[in-house]
Every structure is written in C-alpha cells, then in structure tokens.
Amino acid sequence: MPTAEPGDRPSDTAAARLTIDLAALAGNFRLIAARAAPAAVGAAVKADAYGLGLAPVATALHSAGARTFFVAWLEEGIALRRLLPDAEILCLNGLAPGAAEAYAAHRLTPVLGSLEEIAEWRATSHGGQAPAGLQIDSGMARLGLSAEEVDRLVAYRKPLEGLSLTLVMSHLASGDDPADPMNLAQRASFEKDRGRLGLAHVRSSLAASGGSFLGSDFHLDLVRPGAALYGLAPLAGEANLMAQVVRLQAKILQVRRVDRGMTVGYGATHRTTRPSRLATISAGYADGYPRSLSNRGHACLGSVRVPVVGRVSMDLLTLDVTDAPADLARRGAWVDLIGPLHSVDALATEAGTIGYEILTALGRRYARHYLPVDGTPGSQTGAAP
C-alpha cells in the first residue's frame, strides 16, 4: 500500500474511505503462483471478494492470470459469470436443493458434498455432461462426503458413474499452522479416499491460503487461496509475505480538550487520567468496525498510534490524540483504522477475531477507491444506496 497521505481535497466530501490496491492483490496472486508451481492457482472470491467488491477484484485477478474461481453460493456464481464469461467457476457450498438446472444454465460447477447431492445432480438431464466437483471430508465435519458415505460409494460405485468430475477436493482444518499434525493426517486421509474411489486421475485440491505455504506435498494439482490474496497472513505466527491490499481511513469530525476525570462514550466506560485531547471520527460498528474494539483498539494518526477510548458506537468512535501533534490531530484530518502501520490482522487481533471477519464486515458507506493494476488513476465509488 502507498504510504503517502492523500491529503484533503475540496472535492473530497467522504467521511470515511476504503482504498483497495488491485496491484497489490495481483502481486499476491503472482507470489502464490510462483510458490505453488507447477500446480495451478485458483482464486476464492466468495462473499463479494471478501468484502472488497466482486467486479473489480475478480477482473484484476483474471488479468493477473487466474482462470479458476471459487464462490460459495449459486447467486455469487451467476454474478461472476456475467463478469467472466470464459472462467471456470466452482460453487463450494455444493448443489442448492432444486437448483441443478440453474448451475448448468450458467455453466457453474457445483462441488457435490453428499450422496443426496450426487443423486440430485445425476437425476438432471445435465448430470452426465455438465462438470461437477466432489468434496471429501477429511476432518472438518462441515461439508463433503463423510467416511460412511465414502465407504458406501466404494462398495457401490454406481452413483459416480457417468459424472463429469473435474475436481476432487478437501479442506484443511489447520492449514495456517504448519506444526499441526492434523495437516498430514488430513492429506493422508484425502489421498486414501481418492484412491479408494478410483479418482486418483481427477484433478485434486487440498490447499487454501495456509496450505499453499505448507510445501509441494499439499499443492497437488490446484491451490485455491482466498484470504492471502487480500493481504492476510497465511501462516499464524510467521512473518506475513503478502502485500497489504486495503487501507481504511476516517476523518476527524471534532477535537476537544477535556480535564482529568472526564468520562467518554456510552456507559462511561473510560475515564481520563490526565488533561487530554479527544478526537471523534466518522466510523462505527455500522461500518464494520467491531464494537469489541471499545477501549482496546488503536488507530494511526500519521506515525502515531492513538488508542480507542470509550465504547465504539454505531457511527462514531473516539480516539485519545493527546500524544499526537496538534497539526495532525485536527478537524478534517484522516486517521488510519487499517493502513501501512496497522494491518487487518493487527486490528483483528485487537478485536479478538480474525482478519476474514474484519474484511467481510466492511460497511457499504465507505467511499471506495480502487488503485488499478496498471497504475492509471483509480475509480472512486460512493456509498451504496
């Protein structure tokens, strides 16, 4: 992310803005592609591209070389198909009941995860022609064929006959922890079940963001990163190799001086211990800034870390800017809630959550500014209606 302050422009009336660096996004894709080669690299763009906007993100990833994309819902796949007519699009949440014809009509690949889904897909006129994926549960107990279902398919293979399977996959429960023995156990379980089902020849995928960094034994034919593309650290406790993609800023609405002993915010949960300067900024939990950051979060005013004091409210939060220079702590100045000195992961740690939740919760009121891949001026979008 660029570190230069954007400055206050007379035409800039936004109270808060989210800058999304598509060049950094593309660079993250290329970094993973280089590490995973010769395996192919897909891209997870579910949940509106992790909250950053499906259209600009998917287009940038396609320009960077992505040809396989993963979404969760059928509706997400339909929206993506309009943007990328020739991409391979897989729907991770499987076959929505009664919707088989819609997948085929939009050339979407459902990742089948149960005997019921397999039966419903086979029963359609497209079941033997339109591509499908298959998920095997290797330890998540979430989606995918259970051990009992695998046993039933091994004993009676007919449900798989005639299916045009283009991918068989599983999902690591602890892919962000290289030391967790469950990773090796899941890989062994997945490989065993693939062989038992006679699917060793079908393209396979096990690694998402964390698994992409576990080494070639986990890459198989295709890795499918999501969070790492958007700048989140793929491995817990290790240096983050990914470039930061987002910068979240809000304007100071008001600065006030208060005496020692002044209470701040709803519930009077913070009391000043010295004469202080407090800055109120235009962001709150309605914008995806977690209420759990009350009295524990930080922001950056220039290079100065400033703490959140009092409760985060719906549209506002308060920062103690006593230690920041007065020329920075002024009405109309921009504060970094997420930025070069305070990453998404750092904010998530303060909030007691994960970067995934922070990204996907980012509100629609922010003015969104996209820094494009080619370095030309970015597009500015206002708040959603």
Residue 151 and residue 264: Cα distance in Å, rounded?
61
pLDDT of residue 272 exceeding 60? yes
**The pLDDT of residue 198:** 95
**The pLDDT of residue 188:** 97
Tell me the angle at which helices 147-155 and 115-123 cross, rounded to the nearest 10 degrees.
50
**The pLDDT of residue 375:** 53
**The pLDDT of residue 194:** 96
Query: Which residues form the catalytic set?
Result: 46, 266
Residue 103 and residue 77: Cα distance in Å, rounded?
9
Same fold, 39-230 and 246-371: no
Residue 109 and residue 322: Cα distance in Å, rounded?
55
Q: Mean pLDDT over residues 49-69, rounded?
A: 98
Third-level CATH fold of 246-371: Lyase, Ornithine Decarboxylase; Chain A, domain 1 (2.40.37)
Strands, E, within 191-290: which ranges?
204-205, 222-223, 246-258, 263-264, 270-271, 276-281
**The pLDDT of residue 75:** 97
Residue 219 and residue 103: Cα distance in Å, rounded?
27
Tell me the angle at which helices 147-155 and 182-196 cross, rounded to the nearest 10 degrees.
20
Q: Which residue type is seen at 29? A: F
**The pLDDT of residue 18:** 97
Third-level CATH fold of 39-230: TIM Barrel (3.20.20)
pLDDT grade, residue 339 (50/70/90)? Answer: very high
**The pLDDT of residue 128:** 67
Residue 170 and residue 185: Cα distance in Å, rounded?
12
**For residue 91, what is the DSSP state?**
E
Residue 314 marked ligand-binding: yes
**The pLDDT of residue 130:** 86
Residue 142 marked ligand-binding: yes
Residue whose tokens read 């009295």: 295
C-beta separation of 41 from 66 below 8 A: yes
Reduced to 3 states (helix: H, G, I; strand: E, B; else coil), residue 370 is: strand
Whole-model pTM: value is 0.92
**The pLDDT of residue 162:** 84
Mind listing the pLDDT tens digit for each residue in 88-137?
A: 999 999 999 999 999 999 999 999 999 999 999 998 867 667 899 999 99
Strand pairing category for 16-21 and 246-258: antiparallel
pLDDT grade, residue 377 (50/70/90)? Answer: very low
**The pLDDT of residue 382:** 42
Burial readout 81-96 (b: 16 or more C-beta within 10 A, e: otherwise): bebbeebbbbbbbbbb
Residue 223 and residue 33: Cα distance in Å, rounded?
9
Reduced to 3 states (helix: H, G, I; strand: E, B; else coil), residue 136 is: strand
Q: Which residue type is seen at 302? A: G
Q: Which two tokens stand for residue 277?
A: 């300067």
**The pLDDT of residue 3:** 37
Where along the chain do its domains lie?
Answer: 39-230, 246-371
Helices (H) and strands (E) in the chain, counts: 10, 20
Residue 102 and residue 87: Cα distance in Å, rounded?
17
C-beta separation of 225 from 304 below 8 A: no
Q: Which residue type is seen at 15? A: A
Mind listing the pLDDT tens digit for each residue in 287-337?
A: 999 999 999 999 999 999 999 999 999 999 999 999 999 999 999 999 999
Average pLDDT over all residues of the chain: 93
Q: Mean pLDDT over residues 340-356, rounded?
A: 97
Mind listing the pLDDT tens digit for each residue in 142-191?
A: 999 999 999 999 999 888 988 999 999 999 999 999 999 999 999 999 99
**The pLDDT of residue 127:** 61
Mind listing the pLDDT tens digit for each residue in 15-56?
A: 999 999 999 999 999 999 999 999 999 999 999 999 999 999
Q: Which residue type is seen at 287? A: D
377 HSE (CA, 13 A, CB side) = 2
